[in-house]
């Protein structure tokens, strides 16, 4: 049986809101300074150190009271210790949010305790895919994420930013719904079916961003990493974790136009990818209003990525699972970044 949580005392919420104004610098000044940092027309005065309080485990993400208690427990210390920290309440429900809206069963993986969507359509049936329609934005886990955003807005009265739930890239969503083997086969044999499903995923992602935006005062549209505050006017973010699997030609046809549609609808684009996607750098340079990239060294060569994107957008590297063998720990990784990154780069340190 899971732990039972009740709503934290209103005094705890009030104490956090008071602290946001009392710390040095106050949160309002931190936001003003970081808005300047995000401006690529300005040289960065310094690098920004990301920070976020521990979130609940995957088995409790659907429990708003548990998540709120964890947030109120961890945020005050970060406010006092990290002058870059800006509180942002999380609403992620795992990488299967959009897939669950299409009807994928949500399961909890036993190996890593994460939530995942079971492939909904197993047979290679392009006609069935072409018959699919856009699901409601509030369906399944997406609805739960929107509801958590709404409840956070009620608790904090708009004084604390809310982070959007997990936004998988359109191809990622399509691959979860139909399976990678079917989707990739369709790109060659029945591209109209692949485009239809990816297009539906695109519309759902836009609708989800706008639905969360509608219920909060300030939406941080970049979901990964969860340690950074992004000004709401800069748009949204996607996990483009299928980018390593697509050739440049396939990415240009089946991903780039849809990523750009989302960017244009939402006001900009932040990209997360935790694989080796160097072969698609040229495509990603074509993303409209590209705000930043969250790669995972050493899956990618960090100096090469910096040379490609360092003067184009903000960078927020996160060490991959192979990283500890090279850098030891986060501090070692940070020392590597500081030693290999030009000061002109707008860098978010882990």
Q: How far is CA 115 from CA 55, 111, 118, 173, 318, in A?
A: 15, 11, 10, 14, 21
Q: Is 291 helix (H, G, I), strand (E, B) or coil?
A: strand
CATH of the domain at 168: 3.20.20.210
Return the residue matching tokens 């960078």: 315
Asked whether residue 5 is domain-assigned, the answer is no
Asked whether residue 2 is domain-assigned, the answer is no
Asked whether residue 21 is domain-assigned, the answer is yes
Asked whether residue 156 is domain-assigned, the answer is yes
Asked whether residue 3 is domain-assigned, the answer is no
Tens digit of pLDDT at every position of the chain (350 positions): 345 557 778 899 999 999 999 999 999 999 999 999 999 999 999 999 999 999 998 878 999 999 999 999 999 999 999 999 999 999 999 899 999 999 998 887 666 556 777 888 999 999 999 999 999 999 999 999 999 999 999 999 999 999 999 999 999 999 999 999 999 999 999 999 999 999 999 999 999 999 999 999 999 999 999 999 999 999 999 999 999 999 999 999 999 999 999 999 999 999 999 999 999 999 999 999 999 999 999 999 999 999 999 999 999 999 999 999 999 999 999 999 999 999 999 999 99
Asked whether residue 4 is domain-assigned, the answer is no
* Separation of alpha carbons 143 and 136, rounded Å: 9
Question: Containing domain of residue 344, as a range?
Answer: 10-349
pTM of the model: 0.95
Asked whether residue 1 is domain-assigned, the answer is no
Spatial CA neighbour of 118 closest among 110, 126, 109, 127: 109
Q: How many domains does the chain have?
A: 1
Spatial CA neighbour of 230 closest among 94, 37, 68: 37
């Amino acid at each position: 049986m899971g732990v039972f949580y009740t709503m934290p005392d209103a005094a705890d919420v009030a104490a956090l809101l008071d602290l946001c104004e009392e710390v040095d610098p106050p949160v309002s000044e931190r936001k003003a300074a970081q808005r300047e940092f995000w401006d690529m027309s300005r040289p960065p005065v310094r690098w920004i150190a990301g920070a976020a309080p521990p979130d609940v485990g995957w088995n409790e993400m659907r429990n708003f009271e548990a998540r709120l208690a964890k947030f109120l427990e961890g945020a005050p210390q970060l406010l006092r210790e990290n002058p870059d920290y800006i509180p942002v309440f999380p609403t992620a429900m795992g990488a299967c949010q959009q897939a669950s809206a299409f009807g994928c069963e949500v399961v909890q993986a036993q190996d890593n305790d994460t939530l995942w969507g079971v492939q909904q359509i197993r047979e290679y049936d392009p006609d069935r895919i072409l018959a699919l329609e856009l699901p409601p934005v509030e369906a399944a886990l997406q609805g739960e994420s929107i509801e958590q955003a709404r409840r956070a807005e009620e608790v904090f009265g708009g004084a604390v930013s809310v982070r959007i739930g997990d936004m998988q890239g359109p191809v990622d969503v399509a691959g979860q719904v139909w399976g990678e083997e079917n989707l990739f086969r369709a790109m060659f044999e029945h591209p109209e079916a692949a485009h239809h499903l990816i297009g539906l995923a695109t519309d759902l992602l836009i609708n989800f961003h706008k639905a969360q935006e509608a219920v909060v005062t300030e939406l941080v549209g970049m979901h990964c990493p969860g340690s950074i505050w992004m000004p709401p006017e800069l748009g949204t973010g996607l996990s483009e974790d299928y980018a390593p699997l697509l050739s440049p030609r396939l990415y240009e046809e089946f991903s780039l136009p849809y990523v750009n549609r989302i960017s244009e609808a939402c006001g900009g684009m932040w990209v997360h990818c935790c694989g080796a996607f160097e072969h698609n750098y040229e495509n990603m340079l074509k993303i409209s209003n590209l705000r930043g990239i969250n790669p995972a060294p050493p899956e990618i060569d960090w100096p090469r990525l910096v040379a490609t994107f360092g003067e184009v957008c903000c960078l927020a590297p996160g060490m991959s699972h192979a990283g500890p063998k090279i850098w030891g720990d986060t501090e070692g990784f940070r020392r590597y970044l500081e030693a290999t990154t030009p000061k002109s780069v707008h860098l978010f340190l882990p």
